[in-house]
Chains A and B, each alone.
Chain A
Amino acid sequence: MAQELLEIKDLTVGFLTEKGFVRATDRISLSLPKGQTLCVVGESGSGKSVASLAVMRLIDYAGGVIAEGEVHFQGQDLTVKSQEEMRRIRGNKITMVFQDPMSALNPVFTVGEQIAESLRLHKQLSAGAAWSRVIDMLRLVGIPDPEVRARQYPHEMSGGMCQRVVIAMALACDPELVIADEPTTALDVTVQAQILELMQKLKREMGMSILLITHDMGVAAEMADRIAVMYAGVIVEEGTAEDIFERSRHPYTHGLLKSIPGLSGERGTELYAIQGNIPRLGELPAGCRFSPRCPFAAERCFREEPPLLPTPDGHRSACWLESGPEVKTS
């Protein structure tokens, strides 16, 4: 296996609510080898965004805390670093691409100023050098007339353009790891494909690793080397993209796959939908967290929570079912 760039061990992130301390992620473990793309897939409320903010230690500003666990990045544990130390890593070695590009950019500064800001901070570039790098970056992410565009404000650009700017901002300092939190969700479908393609291309050219957070199995299919499926704060299945798409064992993963239009099932069959809703924070059911929605739930599933264990074919799944759900369907 390649060298691990990012290794998350037993990460528990929590918030204080009226009901007391609530875990948004519960002892999750993930690893991302250098140069690969790890997709964390799950519904909203599964804790996937919280986990990504915890890696950046931005969770401190969102009212949450890292209660236990470790986040090793290039061999250093980020969870014990001070914010001052984290500042040197954030925006430099680890950068982020956010969901809604229009609101992720500050409306009162030009896009050029916003990209130049990290360059001047982390690379100590002069104003002139930073600006020419800004132009290069804008050209790299496929923005026409970069000299003109750099002097424009976010509201003067389309959503797709803005997301290109955000990507340029994330890549400007040549990071090791880019965390992309639903980078295409807020965009038009045609633009979505362009942005994904751009990210693939840039990853090849610049050699960074990507931690991609998404609710969309289709996006994961296009981007991922490895996939982790999250549900209600835990990882329910984890493996290579092939493992997940070909040999998924968890009923939840299975449900997610079946709900992609055109990926499984023949044309004309009714689109599958997982029944019910994800439980809210602090209102977890007993036993397996997915049991109330699981079509295969047995008596044991309502009592005991299944651990994430290796499957015979070498990926990991958290389910009491002896074999994959496919067998049970009959």
Chain B
Amino acid sequence: MSETQSAPLAPTGNPKVSRRPPGALRTGWKKFSSNKLAVVGLIVLVFFVLVAALAPWLTPYKPDRIDMMFPNLKPGTGNHLLGTDELGRDIFARLLFSSRVSLLVGFSVAVATVMIGTFIGAVSGYFGGWADTIFMRLVDVMNSIPLLFLNILVLAIFDPKFIYMILILTFTGWMGVARLVRGSYLQLREMQYVEAAQAIGVSSWGIIIRHLLRNATAPIIVNATLMVGSAILSESALSYLGMGVQPPQTSWGQMLSNAQEFMLIDPLQAVYPGLCILIVVLAVNFIGDGLRDAMDPRKKAMMSPRRLDQWRKSFSKSKI
């Protein structure tokens, strides 16, 4: 049928020689950078990363130095920018150093879940059969357990150590990526070029890796970004419940647990760490959404109904 033909333009036709399309990376960046929220998110995240890296140089105080001479100082007293807590520790210093914990947990869990999830998803999707059945049942089971309970259970049994927390958050976070990668492979298996590749002797792993890089990278990156946010939230929840970061280390969640105990004395203490979590997670989610939109070719133009109606009125001759 004529409409399925896609032969090149006739020589008599359009004299314009088709230009090479700009690279996917560049168009992606262009779309991303036109998304204001995503750019703000990126700036905020970079700011927090810098703060975390430079924490010791940004404050003269150590976050864990107890000074019982000056507990519960008001903000601005002495050199304490945000005052001190019930043990005389400098709140500003604690906030700075806590950002290290949150970002470390967020990024390491995101990277680890992507690796595990990708591996499981690829094996499951590409080989199918019993491997697929087992992994997908595992995903079902994992998804029907309240994961916070599982985290608490494991941390209670194995002691709440920092590295255990990262491990358990990884162990309970890989399912999303696995599903995604598996879905991508189910499509791959249908494609004929796999058979072609196998016929000329490319190994299974060769096919898996090449295909993954080409087709699943974008959604995986988006998923990983959103994972950073959810890992930070999980860490703060566990630390708030006393199952996460333990003193003398400090984290925003742990600070909140303290702050709630002393909220009658100093209600502001509870505000800062929570705001920090909110801002960082918001920033990460904005970036994730920006990435998703940048990589989605079907993205619709955003237009408010009022503009749309105005536009319709100006062009339409009919009553609507």
Contact = CB atoms under 8 A, between A and B. Distances in A.
A181 interface: no
Contacts of B301: 17-18
Interface in A257-310: 259, 273-278, 285, 291-295, 297
A68 interface: yes
A68 B312 CA distance: 13
A300 B271 CA distance: 74
Interface in A50-106: 57, 60, 65-69, 79-83
A277 B319 contact: no
Nearest to A46: B3
A66 B318 contact: yes
Interface residues on B, range: 20 to 34
B17 interface: no
A292 B13 contact: yes
Given A65-B312, A292-B13, A297-B12, A274 B317 contact: no
B13 A276 contact: yes
A281 to B, nearest CB: 14
Give the dominant DSSP class at B's interface.
loop
Given A215-B1, A259-B2, A276 B9 contact: yes
Shortest 10 CB-CB contacts between residues of A and residues of B: A292-B13, A65-B316, A43-B3, A275-B10, A259-B2, A82-B319, A273-B5, A276-B9, A292-B14, A79-B318
A275 B1 contact: no
Interface of B: 1-3, 5-10, 12-14, 301, 308, 311-312, 315-320
A282 to B, nearest CB: 14
B9 A255 contact: no
Interface string A90-124: 00000000000000000000000000000000000
Given A16-B311, A255-B2, A259-B1, A80 B12 contact: no
17 contacts: A21-B315, A69-B317, A80-B317, A82-B319, A83-B319, A273-B2, A273-B7, A274-B5, A275-B7, A275-B10, A277-B5, A291-B13, A292-B10, A292-B12, A294-B10, A294-B12, A295-B12
Contacts of A273: 2, 5, 7
A276 B318 contact: no
Contact of B2 (A68, A80, A256): A256
A291 B14 CA distance: 9
Contacts of B6: 277
B315 A43 contact: no
A275 B14 CA distance: 12
B3 to A, nearest CB: 4
Given A14-B315, A293-B10, A83 B5 contact: no
Given A18-B301, A259-B1, A57 B318 contact: yes
Contacts of B318: 57, 60, 65-66, 79-81
Given A21-B315, A67-B315, A81-B318, A43 B2 contact: yes
Given A276-B8, A276-B10, A292-B10, A68 B317 contact: yes
Nearest to B308: A16
